[in-house]
Chains A and B, each alone.
Chain A
Amino acid sequence: MGVIATPGGGTIPLPPGARHSASLRAAPRWLLLAAIVVTGAMLLPLGFVLWVAVQIGWSEIVTVLVRPRVGELLLNTAMLVSMAVPASVLVGVSLAWLTERTDLPGHTLWSALAAAPLAVPAFVHGYAWVTALPSFHGLVAAVMVSVLAYFPFVYLPVAAALRRLDPAQEDVAASLGLRPMQVLRRVVLPQLRLPVLGGALIIGLHMLAEYGLFALVRFDTFTTAIFDQFQSIFSAPAANMMAGVLVLLCLLLLMLEVSARGGGRYARLGSGSARQAARLRLPPLAKGAAVLVVLAVAILSLGVPLMTLARWLMLGGAEVWDLDAILPVLGQTLALAAAGAILTTMAAMPVAWLSVRGRGAKVRIIEASNYISGALPGIVVALALVTVTIRVARPLYQTAFTVLLAYVILFLPRALIALRASIAQAPPELENVAQSLGRSPFRALTEVTMRLAAPGAAAGAAMVFLAVTTELTATLILAPTGTRTLATTFWSLTTEIEYVRAAPFAFMMIALSLPLTWVLYHQSRRAAGR
């Protein structure tokens, strides 16, 4: 689940390198060293996969992987991704257009409701559907629940892009004789390509990485199969090899997205066009249909999980709120999340600084390695850390250190994006001035740039904090014996069919996620300048 969810369209453009930005040579040596150490840690999972391949050898790999079971898993995963991603794009883009560009009644409310499903972890979506409809399982269930859980990843960037588009382009198209629908098809939709691709990539990577949701709807993917394999035969070579295939699938998605972006240039979207595009006036019948569509999506993506959860909570009454059981779990979760957030943000700082201020191939390699590693599933990171700790650092196996390291590897890109954007807003000239006024390079960095980047660091830390509270796969595998988080406790109760006792933990995860979802939603609107 180590994927970057930016509301602004998946990627943040590099600031044009100021002519006199510090060169790599001028970067403080300790900073470069720190960035290299962090990048080394980030490359552990990729290195692990390569090591497995070399260790096991080609012929053995072929015997293990060329089996009907592996073919079946590949087919399952391919069907899942190729059905759920386009469906999510369809839902996300339609909702974005309806809420941003039509006179849909109550569009502000619908827009908030379209972002809200992000506050519900995917495996809680799965829990809700499975406990509401016990017979709901297989491919159809997997596709449908994935779409409901993940479509906001497309909705948020596309809605932001729609708000940012210069209405003058649409006016020009209309003056050239295009009807509103033609304007939409020929002018608006083509410009949504980047946010759509960015959102689709994030959804694809999430689906490759997700374990809980697909285990609940009983649909086998590579990730669920690797997890089962790992639990039945500890550190099995087969699990490791399948992890390798999963990594290849992730890299394939990354490459698909890059090639689909194409070389075409899109005019920079004006930062503050004062005018807002006019909303299309829907005819009464279409308006009614549109309301039905957004209402249906809201009911399925929010109503079902919340109603199911409410039903289980009511069934349980006050008894399930056994504070002696809940408080230690909550405490451990918050402690792990806080430690994970602080460590990840600190680790991201040198990389973020270098990627903004540094130049040259080395810096770009460091940056790219960190993004690729962040796209790898939690299960791969967990298997890598299990193998590494057992082989070379036995005392670290199943310790808080290892699970925190997994969080750093998984969630560093989130902290990186937030930090990079805010460091880019602190002009390098300020560091120069601070030095001319007697501050050493280190103090100029901490007193000026890091101070100015503090809001970005806080935002990044909050995102990591939240990601840790709902992280399931890596925590299940790596957490020290006796450590129980909200997610793992919820999971073990759910697998024991203790749906009522699981409900409070799901409720707490949603309650913790809601503020951040609101912030993300708010940011994506503000990024659009309104």
Chain B
Amino acid sequence: MTTLELRNISKSYGSVRAVNDVSLSVPAGCHTAIVGPSGSGKTTLLRLIAGFEAPDAGSLLLSGAPLADGNGTFVPAHKRQVGYLPQDGALFPHLSVAANIAFGIAHEPADVRERRVQELAEMVVLDRAMLARYPHELSGGQQQRVGIARALAQRPKLILLDEPFSALDTGLRAATRKATTELLDAAGVTALLVTHDQAEALSFSDQIAVMRDGRIAQSGPPVDLYLRPRDPITATFLGDAIILAAQLSGDGWSTSVLGSLPVDDSTRLGPASIMLRPEQVTMVGGSAADCSAQGHVLDLEFIGHSCVVTVDVAGTRVQVRCAVGGAPKVGARVSLAVNGPAHVLS
């Protein structure tokens, strides 16, 4: 069953088309990430779903009920019951933690409210003593958890997260992201995350939609998108990529500077771009018999957990990774071996 359905949504500000003919469906319980560079329209899309803006065209359905269409149907934000967690948590500074969490269930009787607040505090692993505190007395991670509890209080079918982890420092970010994913799973709520951080998108979601210039360039499961991006821009946006000019022979093989490589397309013929992820390429010193190509090292960059080695292979620069211990010297001859098929870009 589909929870959220976007059909041909468009939204312009003046002459700028912020969101251009976007269609997307988000199945119930699924975590979807909308990822794209800043200015790609992802935040506008989120605001359209939340109901802070109305689309110019297209329709938006939640559990089959129309929230907006181009013909005047528009359910405002406060009637949608869609949870919303903005970047910095946006807790109400004048209310205690408990009052923040209970903000969306103010119409419930006091005892129900209190029980629900306790329940949610437990769920987001917030100490009871924290409930009487005020937002400025909490750490960034705690504020984030209160924000989630507040959004979940009204039992939304859908929760929207707008770059919720970007304000946290690096160490805390990964931990909070993992905790949030587990929390949302436990609550069984459908989640839509907007981010410009591809690592965050890949680890958070069951489905990714890459946005560019107001359109969805490609969507699908994270592994699919990572290994089989449609075009070079998506390929490099989702991670480091080696993109090479190649000749396809139509039988699942290609020829390029890295020699003869299997590809994931056995029908296309002629010139094409093929993509490899750096982790598919292994490097050994000297000339090895089982390697498909040789070259010499142009540059070495130490990035902590590994080294990035730039290798000149018959005039083409290829960047590969290697363990810090086994890094060759600049100028050394090396051989490259490729594991798994290369992906043919359209």
**Interface residue ranges, A against B (CB under 8 Å):** 19-20, 23, 26, 427, 429-430, 432-441, 444, 448, 451-452
14 cross-chain CB contacts under 8 A:
A429-B86, A430-B90, A432-B50, A432-B52, A433-B86, A435-B51, A435-B78, A436-B83, A436-B151, A436-B160, A437-B150, A438-B79, A440-B76, A451-B94
Identify which of A20, A427, A440 contacts B90 (C-beta below 8 A): A427
CA distance A452 to B135 in the complex (A): 14
| Interface range on chain B (Cβ under 8 Å from partner) | 20 to 34
Closest chain A CB from B52 CB (angstroms): 6
Which residues 1-43 of B sit at the A interface, judged by CB distance below 8 A?
Answer: 13, 43
Q: Mark B74-118, 1 if CB is under 8 A from A, else 0.
A: 001111111110111010111000000001100000000000000
Closest chain B CB from A290 CB (angstroms): 42
CA distance A427 to B84 in the complex (A): 15
Which residues 136-193 of B sit at the A interface, judged by CB distance below 8 A?
Answer: 150-151, 153-154, 160
- Is A435's CB under 8 angstroms from B76's CB? yes
CA distance A23 to B50 in the complex (A): 16
Q: Which residue from chain B places its CB closest to the CB of A448 in the assembled complex?
A: B92
- With A26-B53, A429-B90, A448-B92 already in contact, the answer to whether A441 and B43 are too (CB < 8 A) is no
Residue B317 interfacial (CB < 8 Å) = no
- With A20-B43, A430-B90, A452-B94 already in contact, the answer to whether A437 and B103 are too (CB < 8 A) is yes
CA distance A20 to B92 in the complex (A): 19
- Is A439's CB under 8 angstroms from B78's CB? yes
Identify which of B53, B78, B87 contacts A436 (C-beta below 8 A): B78
- Is A438's CB under 8 angstroms from B47's CB? no
CA distance A19 to B46 in the complex (A): 14
- With A429-B86, A432-B84, A432-B86 already in contact, the answer to whether A440 and B94 are too (CB < 8 A) is no
CA distance A432 to B52 in the complex (A): 7
- Is A432's CB under 8 angstroms from B77's CB? yes
Could you say which residues of chain B place their CB within 8 Å of the CB of A451?
94
Could you say which residues of chain A place their CB within 8 Å of the CB of B44?
20
- With A451-B94, A452-B93 already in contact, the answer to whether A435 and B77 are too (CB < 8 A) is yes
Of B80, B81, B90, most A-chain CB atoms within 10 Å? B90
- Is B78's CB under 8 angstroms from A441's CB? yes
**Interface residue ranges, B against A (CB under 8 Å):** 13, 43-44, 47, 50-53, 76-84, 86-88, 90, 92-94, 103-104, 150-151, 153-154, 160
Could you say which residues of chain A place their CB within 8 Å of the CB of B51?
435-436
CA distance A30 to B79 in the complex (A): 20
Identify which of A26, A435, A437, A440 contacts B154 (C-beta below 8 A): A437
Q: A429-B90, A430-B92 are in contact. List 11 more A-B contacts (CB 8 A).
A: A20-B43, A20-B52, A429-B88, A432-B52, A433-B84, A433-B86, A433-B90, A436-B78, A438-B104, A438-B154, A451-B94
Could you say which residues of chain B place their CB within 8 Å of the CB of A448?
92
CA distance A19 to B90 in the complex (A): 16
- Is B76's CB under 8 angstroms from A441's CB? yes
- Is B50's CB under 8 angstroms from A436's CB? yes
Q: Which residue from chain A places its CB closest to the CB of B77 in the assembled complex?
A: A435
Could you say which residues of chain A place their CB within 8 Å of the CB of B154?
437-438
Closest chain A CB from B47 CB (angstroms): 7
Closest 3 CB pairs of A and B: A437-B104, A436-B84, A435-B77
CA distance A452 to B39 in the complex (A): 31
Could you say which residues of chain B place their CB within 8 Å of the CB of A430?
90, 92
Could you say which residues of chain B place their CB within 8 Å of the CB of A20?
43-44, 47, 52
Could you say which residues of chain A place their CB within 8 Å of the CB of B153?
437
CA distance A451 to B92 in the complex (A): 10
CA distance A19 to B79 in the complex (A): 24
Could you say which residues of chain A place their CB within 8 Å of the CB of B79?
438
Closest chain B CB from A507 CB (angstroms): 39
CA distance A182 to B165 in the complex (A): 49
Closest chain B CB from A359 CB (angstroms): 10
CA distance A427 to B93 in the complex (A): 10
Could you say which residues of chain A place their CB within 8 Å of the CB of B78?
434-441, 444
Closest chain B CB from A444 CB (angstroms): 7
Could you say which residues of chain A place their CB within 8 Å of the CB of B84?
432-433, 436-437
- Is A434's CB under 8 angstroms from B103's CB? yes
Q: Which residue from chain A places its CB closest to the CB of B39 in the assembled complex?
A: A19
CA distance A438 to B81 in the complex (A): 7
Closest chain B CB from A427 CB (angstroms): 6
Could you say which residues of chain A place their CB within 8 Å of the CB of B52?
20, 26, 432, 435
Could you say which residues of chain B place their CB within 8 Å of the CB of A427?
90
Could you say which residues of chain A place their CB within 8 Å of the CB of B151?
436-437
Q: Which residue from chain A places its CB closest to the CB of B81 in the assembled complex?
A: A438
CA distance A440 to B94 in the complex (A): 19
CA distance A490 to B159 in the complex (A): 64
CA distance A19 to B47 in the complex (A): 12
Closest chain A CB from B46 CB (angstroms): 10
CA distance A23 to B14 in the complex (A): 12
- Is B77's CB under 8 angstroms from A436's CB? yes
Q: Which residue from chain B places its CB closest to the CB of A452 in the assembled complex?
A: B94
Q: Which residue from chain A places its CB closest to the CB of B82 in the assembled complex?
A: A436
Could you say which residues of chain A place their CB within 8 Å of the CB of B86?
429, 432-433
Could you say which residues of chain B place their CB within 8 Å of the CB of A444?
78
CA distance A441 to B76 in the complex (A): 9
Closest chain A CB from B116 CB (angstroms): 13
CA distance A20 to B48 in the complex (A): 12
CA distance A437 to B104 in the complex (A): 5
CA distance A388 to B82 in the complex (A): 52
CA distance A452 to B92 in the complex (A): 9
Closest chain B CB from A385 CB (angstroms): 39
CA distance A451 to B82 in the complex (A): 24
Could you say which residues of chain B place their CB within 8 Å of the CB of A452?
93-94
CA distance A23 to B44 in the complex (A): 13
Of A432, A436, A441, A452, most B-chain CB atoms within 10 Å? A436
Q: Which residue from chain A places its CB closest to the CB of B88 in the assembled complex?
A: A429
Of A23, A429, A440, most B-chain CB atoms within 10 Å? A429
Closest chain A CB from B208 CB (angstroms): 23
Closest chain B CB from A513 CB (angstroms): 30
Q: Which residue from chain B places its CB closest to the CB of A443 in the assembled complex?
A: B78
Closest chain B CB from A439 CB (angstroms): 5
Closest chain B CB from A528 CB (angstroms): 22
CA distance A31 to B225 in the complex (A): 47
CA distance A434 to B53 in the complex (A): 15
CA distance A23 to B88 in the complex (A): 22
CA distance A437 to B92 in the complex (A): 12
Could you say which residues of chain B place their CB within 8 Å of the CB of A19?
43
Closest chain B CB from A59 CB (angstroms): 48
Could you say which residues of chain A place their CB within 8 Å of the CB of B104?
437-438
Could you say which residues of chain B place their CB within 8 Å of the CB of A437?
78, 84, 103-104, 150-151, 153-154
CA distance A444 to B92 in the complex (A): 11
Q: Which residue from chain A places its CB closest to the CB of B85 in the assembled complex?
A: A433
Could you say which residues of chain B place their CB within 8 Å of the CB of A435?
51-52, 76-78
Could you say which residues of chain A place their CB within 8 Å of the CB of B43?
19-20
CA distance A471 to B47 in the complex (A): 48
Closest chain A CB from B75 CB (angstroms): 12
Q: Which residue from chain A places its CB closest to the CB of B13 in the assembled complex?
A: A23
Q: Which residue from chain A places its CB closest to the CB of B38 in the assembled complex?
A: A19
CA distance A444 to B93 in the complex (A): 14
CA distance A89 to B284 in the complex (A): 77
Q: Which residue from chain B places its CB closest to the CB of A439 in the assembled complex?
A: B78
Q: Which residue from chain B places its CB closest to the CB of A435 in the assembled complex?
A: B77
CA distance A439 to B107 in the complex (A): 11
Closest chain B CB from A207 CB (angstroms): 42
CA distance A441 to B53 in the complex (A): 12
Could you say which residues of chain A place their CB within 8 Å of the CB of B77?
432, 435-436
Could you say which residues of chain B place their CB within 8 Å of the CB of A429?
86-88, 90
